[in-house]
Structure 1
């Protein structure tokens, strides 16, 4: 399957939110409806205006959005002023899962992180998603750190 990677546009936001909401965890946190709540467009504008953020969509031959992810490039002082890339919100349309698209997306993200001179690409995955953890391990990601979160709301 041929696919095209590109920066998301405002018109893509409903398709992206639909994918984010289309799993057991997303259904609990997201509010996908028509019309889409304004907060999603506000978030898109914030992401889109930040040079260290790249919201990516993956299109099939028919211009249908098949997948999405967000790359964040974090400049910092360690590693002699290095750049760390973070990948988040990796989602694939339900009818496209298991077709190899996830691997294509991750390989593209790895190359993009290299282009932006990142020295590491990191991600988190919820422990309630063991299939995702296994997928990332097969791609060469290593569980090298213990991640922690504090929800503030």
Structure 2
């Protein structure tokens, strides 16, 4: 997949041959946090200036075999990320399911197809892990993201609830 680069808001080049999706490493934390903070919603809840809580969280994630925090890398640069959790369960006849969260693409590559590649990786990994379904959450304000997920075959199926504990 190659797209042409242009002005702001126009997709940049993302040659498929140059893209690698790999397990995140500790040195990727600053780039991941920067991507998490780089939108209107993330800017209100992330603090890239203080990486200590993110580094502690990374250690917990990295130690858990059911957690797959990955980065998409082009030419050694982290340009996308997602977090895939494999959830064994008793429901659905003891089925395993997968949960995709924190999907982000670097600003200059949004619209390039990189997000699709990340989701395709997550779906393939979910199949490899013998999950019977893949689900994801997306904030209600992320209308464009909802259209993106629907184009990839996801269906809006649940109403979500949150309870802040802090």
Identify the TM-score tier after normalising by the shorter chain.
over 0.9
Question: Which digits, 9 at most, give the CA deviation of each residue in 1:90-133, with x for residues without a partner?
Answer: 00000000111111111111101000000110011111110000
Residue in 2 that maps onto 1:6: 22
Residue in 2 that maps onto 1:67: 80
Root-mean-square deviation (CA, aligned residues, Å) is 0.9
Partners of 2:117 and 2:52 in 1: how far apart? 31
SS in 2 for 1:145: coil
Residue in 1 that maps onto 2:72: 58
In the TM superposition, what is the alpha-carbon distance from 1:148 to its structure 2 partner? Answer: 1.5
Provide structure 2 residue ranges, at least 5 long, that are not aligned to the other structure.
Answer: 1-14
Residue in 2 that maps onto 1:48: 62
In the TM superposition, what is the alpha-carbon distance from 1:152 to its structure 2 partner? Answer: 1.6
User: Which residue among 123, 136, 141 is the counterpart of 1:128?
Assistant: 141
Residue in 1 that maps onto 2:47: 31
Residue in 1 that maps onto 2:11: none
Provide structure 1 residue ranges, at least 5 long, that are not aligned to the other structure.
Answer: none
Partners of 1:127 and 1:80 in 2: how far apart? 30
After TM superposition, list the pairs within 5 Å mapping 1:40-119 onto structure 2: 40-60=54-74, 62-119=75-132
Relative contact order, CA 8 A, sep 6+: which one is greater?
A: 2
- Note if 1:147 corresponds to 2:136: no
Deviating beyond 6 angstroms after TM superposition, the runs of 4 or more aligned structure 1 residues are none
In the TM superposition, what is the alpha-carbon distance from 1:37 to its structure 2 partner? Answer: 2.7
Partners of 1:89 and 1:37 in 2: how far apart? 17
The number of residues matched between the two structures is 150
TM-score relative to the length of structure 1: 0.95
